[in-house]
Amino acid sequence: MKVATLLFSLALFTATAFGQPISYVVNSLGETISTVELTTLTVSNNTISLGSDVGSAPNQILIWGECGYVVNSSTNELQVLDLLGDSTIGFIDFPPFSNPYWIDLANDSLAYVSLLVDNSIATVDLKKDSVVRTDSIGKSPQALAVWRDTVFVAMTGFDFSTFQYDPGEVAIYDRVTQSRIGAIPVGLNPQFMAWDSQGRLHVVCTGDFATVFGAVYVIDPAAGGVVDSVVLGGSPGQIVIDQDDIAYVAGGGFSGPGNVFVYNASDLTVIRDAASPLVLATSQIGVGLLDSPGALALSFADTGQIIDSTGASATFVLGDGPLQADLNWLAGDVNGDWSVDLADLSRLIDFLFVSFTPLPQPVWRANVAVDGNGDIGLPDLSRLIDHLFLTFQPLDISPRWVR
């Protein structure tokens, strides 16, 4: 049965089912999902099995409303989850041996996925449960980020035959012409990305793990170029930027205490780098956002820790090999404070009419109108006003095409 047909049942629910913030963690070795209820720190391990077969190597989860999208690298598929029912809805297949790596959504029905080994980017129609096309993008793409009609793709330049790296760059893919139209030079081995409050893209360049070490390059998407950089040292990986614009970067530590690097994403002041890292549990592979300032640090020693720049405030057991996490943001929570109120209305008005300051990620929290697209505009403002002052009808940001 088609994913689109199965997803129709999700339209019966509203985002109020997400009454509290929950982090969904990909356990890469165990091939399962763990959930962490962040208010109470209640952990439920192995709630959903990942992959259509064993050895799926799940790499990332991305949440939009009540749906979760998991990239399974070894089984070459996108797994669609019903987060309300803790179940799998279906799978969307990529070409064999393409090794899908990272996903981002342009709207609730169109996704882009990097194909690491295939040296390409896939366009996925979530309505039709199909890969519409794949386009050559360059050598060994990893993370990607959608911005308007552009997809920025981290090109690691890794050669699987020589185990060497080409110079790092961020490819620019035009969604209109469906082609690569340029590239932005960055440091060696760019792997991961995150947006700051100014709408700038922070690109983590890991280096070669031996002689070239880590740095972050900051891209202005409108200008299409690097505007600044910060040196962290070590071999940094995944990055998240919290509500206070503090960046947390997984720093590895594979045979001893694990490291996390921290810096201010606004002014690039280094708080913790390789010379003075935040020292945590062994092998810090992943980081995830919280509903409050700070981050969720993920250790391949099967633990998670709630952290800020000073250390860990809580530690708990997760599944086998926790790798990456995403949060079930609340519909209408435009400013990301886990409540829907006048502050969100004010923030949306400011974005639309006053300062035009970019909305905090993920921006789909503001995309609450049933208007059939992923744009944020007057229909969303009208729907939020209706929710707050008129009909008080709950907001629903499940995929619009299944309503």
Q: What is the CATH number of the domain that holds 216?
A: 2.130.10.10
- Strands 141-147 and 215-220, bridge-based pairing: unpaired
Residues 222 and 156 in one domain: yes
Rounded Cα distance between 154 and 204, Å, is 9
CA within 13 Å, CB half, 21? 20
Structure tokens at 324: 């990456």
- Torsion on CA atoms 367, 147, 234, 166, rounded to nearest 10: 150
- The answer to whether 7 and 66 have CB atoms below 8 angstroms apart is no
Domain that holds residue 189: 3-327
Give me the tens of pLDDT residue by residue for the chain, a chain 403 residues long: 444 444 333 333 333 345 689 999 999 999 999 999 999 999 999 999 999 999 999 999 999 888 899 999 999 999 999 998 999 999 999 999 999 999 999 887 899 999 999 999 999 999 899 999 999 999 999 999 999 999 999 999 999 999 999 999 999 999 999 999 999 999 999 999 999 989 999 999 999 999 999 999 999 999 999 999 999 999 999 999 998 999 999 998 777 789 999 999 999 999 999 999 999 988 888 999 998 899 999 998 999 999 999 999 999 999 999 999 999 888 899 998 888 999 999 999 999 999 999 888 788 789 888 665 667 899 999 999 999 999 998 886 654 333 2
Torsions phi, psi for 65 (to 5 deg): 60, -130
Whether residue 334 lies inside any domain: the answer is: no
pLDDT at residue 383, as a whole number: 93
Please give the biggest Cα pair distance in the chain. Answer: 63
Q: Which residues contact 296 (CB under 8 A, 6 or more apart)?
A: 23, 25, 36, 287, 288, 289, 290, 304, 305, 306, 307, 325
Sheet strand arrangement including 179-185: 141-147, 150-155, 169-174, 179-185
Domain membership flag for residue 110: yes
Residue 336 lies inside a defined structural domain of this protein: no
- Kindly state the DSSP code that residue 25 receives in the 8-state scheme: E
Instruction: Count structural domains, the chain.
Output: 2
Domain contains 337: no
Domain termination residue (choose one: 327, 351, 374): 327
